[in-house]
Amino acid sequence: MLSQTVFYLVVSAAIMILGILFCVATYHLIKIVKELEAISKNFRDMSDEAQERIRDIIERLAGLPILSFFLRNRGVRSGTDKKKGRRTRRT
């Protein structure tokens, strides 16, 4: 009977300790996820800023007479064949 009581106490203590460890691990996991989210947001903001800076540099370089031929804004084709003046179908 004493051995059953000790067994129940040990199992109960082990379950409580595992529960506490699970709670601590979950807490730290949530903190890590929040930090990763903040890092990804900062990275996204920095990449947007870098794209704006690159566009600004290209615009400034396009203003130079020698480089303007190579860096002028060509844009996307409008769907017309420039040589024949007719619309082409995009696939």
Give DSSP secondary structure letters for 51-76.
HHHHHHHHHHHHTSHHHHHHHS----
Predicted pLDDT of residue 58: 81
**How far apart (Å, rounded) are the C-alpha atoms in residues 39 and 46?**
10
Please check whether residue 78 is in contact with residue 87, taking contact to mean a CB–CB distance below 8 angstroms.
no
Query: What contacts 34, CB < 8 A, 6 or more positions away?
Result: none
Between residues 3 and 74, which one has the greater pLDDT?
3
- Note the pLDDT tens digit of each residue in 29-80: 999 999 999 998 888 888 888 888 888 888 887 777 776 666 665 544 445 5
Query: Residue 29, SS3?
Result: helix
pTM over 0.85: no
